Amino acid sequence: MSAEATLRELICLLAKSLFDRGLTGGSTGNISARTEDGGLLVSPTGTSFGRLDPGRLSRFDAAGQLTGGDPPTKEMPLHSAFYDTRSTAGAVVHLHSCHSVALSMMPDLDADNFLPPLTPYAIMKLGKVKLLPFFLPGDPAMGDAVRGLAGKRSAVMLANHGPVVAARDVEAACNAIEELEDTARLALLTRGHAPRALDADQVRALVTKFDVEWDE
């Protein structure tokens, strides 16, 4: 099996896993990954993560031209913004995961650091998550907002919509976005109970030890 065929199968396998565990439902969410030749494989518009067909993924060449498969997700500007501003990005995942969306609706959030430091793992896998305002689905302004971060963030939370995560490969992106959702769930479960979060020194120790991107 070629490297691209293997990647196609992996994208569909991981997407189905996310769907089967309720992390994005219906025809929501989109996923993309870099190919060896610098192109992209992207989930098509209007498709379910539970039923992606490896042979019908949208295929872009290294120049950004659609060369095969079905029409891509309408959120392509969002994906392109991450690839264009983060040289390390090998994959991008966007979900409509319930707990992170619910947390994005809460008052008094830190827009520069959306997730509270409840466990080490979101810090290690995501760094700071930027909370972006609400945009209409498919609005190119979402991509503009990501570009405005100048590549300094690997993850953003679209208010009232869903998280978006870029990582070195598709497995890492899926693992990181699951950590984002788990941390959002913990934040909701402990909200109003004054949980004992990690303090600033503990966060700094994590950032240093695991070489975390941590935009001050």
**In one letter, which amino acid is 111?**
A
Rounded Cα distance between 2 and 10, Å, is 12
Choice among 4, 9, 36, 75 that is catalytic: 75
Active site residue 83: no
Helices (H), the chain: 3-20, 76-85, 98-104, 120-126, 141-147, 170-190, 200-209
Choice among 4, 9, 36, 121 that is catalytic: 121
DSSP designation for 107: S
3-class state of residue 150 by DSSP: coil
The per-residue DSSP string of 7-56 comes to HHHHHHHHHHHHHHTTSS-TT--EEEEE-TTS-EEEPBTT--GGG--GGG
Rounded Cα distance between 40 and 62, Å, is 7
Catalytic residues: 75, 121
